[in-house]
Amino acid sequence: MLDLSGMWLGTYWQLKQPTRFELSLIQASNSLTGNILDDGHLGEAVITGEVIGKKIAFTKRYILHSHYHINYNGNIADEGNYMSGEWRMTLGRGTWEAYRSEDLLMLESKKVDFVSLSKK
Protein backbone atom coordinates (compact mmCIF):
# COMPACT_ATOMS: atom_id res chain seq x y z
CA MET A 1 0.00 0.00 0.00
CA LEU A 2 1.27 3.49 -0.88
CA ASP A 3 1.84 5.84 2.04
CA LEU A 4 0.83 9.39 1.09
CA SER A 5 1.98 10.93 4.39
CA GLY A 6 4.10 14.04 3.94
CA MET A 7 4.16 17.34 2.11
CA TRP A 8 2.60 17.92 -1.31
CA LEU A 9 2.49 20.94 -3.61
CA GLY A 10 -0.47 21.31 -5.90
CA THR A 11 -2.80 23.39 -8.01
CA TYR A 12 -6.55 23.42 -8.45
CA TRP A 13 -8.39 25.16 -11.25
CA GLN A 14 -11.65 27.06 -10.85
CA LEU A 15 -13.11 28.85 -13.88
CA LYS A 16 -9.80 28.18 -15.69
CA GLN A 17 -7.89 30.11 -12.99
CA PRO A 18 -5.14 28.23 -11.07
CA THR A 19 -4.73 28.39 -7.30
CA ARG A 20 -1.62 26.89 -5.71
CA PHE A 21 -1.76 24.99 -2.42
CA GLU A 22 0.45 23.20 0.09
CA LEU A 23 -0.92 19.95 1.46
CA SER A 24 0.29 18.14 4.56
CA LEU A 25 -1.07 14.57 4.77
CA ILE A 26 -1.08 11.96 7.52
CA GLN A 27 -2.16 8.48 6.49
CA ALA A 28 -3.14 5.75 8.95
CA SER A 29 -4.13 2.57 7.11
CA ASN A 30 -6.72 3.79 4.58
CA SER A 31 -7.63 6.98 6.48
CA LEU A 32 -6.29 10.44 5.63
CA THR A 33 -6.18 13.63 7.67
CA GLY A 34 -4.30 16.81 7.02
CA ASN A 35 -4.15 20.51 6.33
CA ILE A 36 -4.19 22.55 3.13
CA LEU A 37 -2.97 26.12 2.83
CA ASP A 38 -4.37 27.77 -0.30
CA ASP A 39 -2.62 30.64 -2.01
CA GLY A 40 -6.06 32.22 -2.48
CA HIS A 41 -8.20 34.33 -0.18
CA LEU A 42 -9.86 31.40 1.62
CA GLY A 43 -6.64 30.34 3.37
CA GLU A 44 -6.23 27.26 5.52
CA ALA A 45 -8.45 24.18 5.49
CA VAL A 46 -8.54 20.74 7.11
CA ILE A 47 -9.12 17.52 5.24
CA THR A 48 -10.44 14.06 6.05
CA GLY A 49 -10.64 11.22 3.61
CA GLU A 50 -9.46 7.82 2.50
CA VAL A 51 -7.19 5.96 0.12
CA ILE A 52 -8.31 2.72 -1.49
CA GLY A 53 -5.75 1.19 -3.81
CA LYS A 54 -4.73 3.98 -6.17
CA LYS A 55 -7.88 6.04 -5.54
CA ILE A 56 -8.02 9.01 -3.20
CA ALA A 57 -11.08 10.84 -1.87
CA PHE A 58 -11.20 13.62 0.71
CA THR A 59 -13.31 16.54 1.88
CA LYS A 60 -11.75 19.97 2.42
CA ARG A 61 -13.31 22.33 5.00
CA TYR A 62 -11.97 25.86 5.31
CA ILE A 63 -11.23 26.97 8.86
CA LEU A 64 -12.49 30.57 8.54
CA HIS A 65 -15.21 29.79 6.00
CA SER A 66 -16.46 26.47 7.36
CA HIS A 67 -19.63 26.51 5.24
CA TYR A 68 -17.45 25.58 2.23
CA HIS A 69 -17.11 21.80 1.90
CA ILE A 70 -15.24 20.69 -1.21
CA ASN A 71 -15.08 17.02 -2.23
CA TYR A 72 -11.91 15.86 -3.99
CA ASN A 73 -11.61 12.56 -5.89
CA GLY A 74 -8.63 11.35 -7.85
CA ASN A 75 -6.03 8.80 -8.83
CA ILE A 76 -2.53 8.23 -7.49
CA ALA A 77 0.41 7.50 -9.81
CA ASP A 78 2.07 4.07 -9.48
CA GLU A 79 5.19 5.62 -7.87
CA GLY A 80 3.09 7.49 -5.29
CA ASN A 81 4.60 10.89 -6.12
CA TYR A 82 1.71 12.42 -8.11
CA MET A 83 -2.06 12.51 -7.85
CA SER A 84 -4.79 14.27 -9.79
CA GLY A 85 -8.52 14.37 -10.16
CA GLU A 86 -11.65 16.46 -9.84
CA TRP A 87 -13.09 18.60 -7.05
CA ARG A 88 -16.79 19.36 -6.61
CA MET A 89 -18.91 21.63 -4.47
CA THR A 90 -22.41 23.08 -4.67
CA LEU A 91 -21.24 26.14 -6.62
CA GLY A 92 -18.99 24.43 -9.14
CA ARG A 93 -16.28 21.96 -9.96
CA GLY A 94 -12.84 21.74 -11.51
CA THR A 95 -9.63 19.76 -11.67
CA TRP A 96 -6.63 19.47 -9.35
CA GLU A 97 -3.18 17.91 -9.18
CA ALA A 98 -0.44 17.55 -6.55
CA TYR A 99 3.19 16.45 -6.47
CA ARG A 100 5.08 15.05 -3.51
CA SER A 101 7.41 17.84 -2.39
CA GLU A 102 9.92 16.00 -0.19
CA ASP A 103 12.63 16.22 -2.86
CA LEU A 104 12.22 20.00 -3.03
CA LEU A 105 12.24 20.29 0.75
CA MET A 106 15.42 18.18 1.01
CA LEU A 107 17.13 20.41 -1.56
CA GLU A 108 16.14 23.53 0.42
CA SER A 109 17.40 21.88 3.63
CA LYS A 110 20.78 21.17 2.03
CA LYS A 111 21.03 24.80 0.86
CA VAL A 112 20.34 26.04 4.40
CA ASP A 113 22.92 23.65 5.89
CA PHE A 114 25.52 24.74 3.36
CA VAL A 115 24.85 28.43 3.97
CA SER A 116 24.99 28.07 7.75
CA LEU A 117 28.23 26.06 7.57
CA SER A 118 29.89 28.57 5.23
CA LYS A 119 29.20 31.41 7.69
CA LYS A 120 30.98 29.68 10.59
**What residues does each domain of the chain span?**
6-118
Q: What is the pLDDT of residues 13-41, one digit of tens each?
A: 999 899 999 999 999 999 999 999 998 78
Res 108: pLDDT: 46
Distance CA 74, CA 43 (A): 22
Res 103: pLDDT: 53
Residue 54: half-sphere exposure toward Cβ, Cα within 13 Å = 10
CATH number of 6-118: 2.40.128.120
pLDDT at 119 over 70: no
Res 94: pLDDT: 96
Q: Bigger pLDDT: 109 or 19?
A: 19
CB 77 within 8 A of CB 68: no
Q: What is the pLDDT of residues 33-66, one digit of tens each?
A: 999 999 878 889 999 999 999 999 999 999 987 7
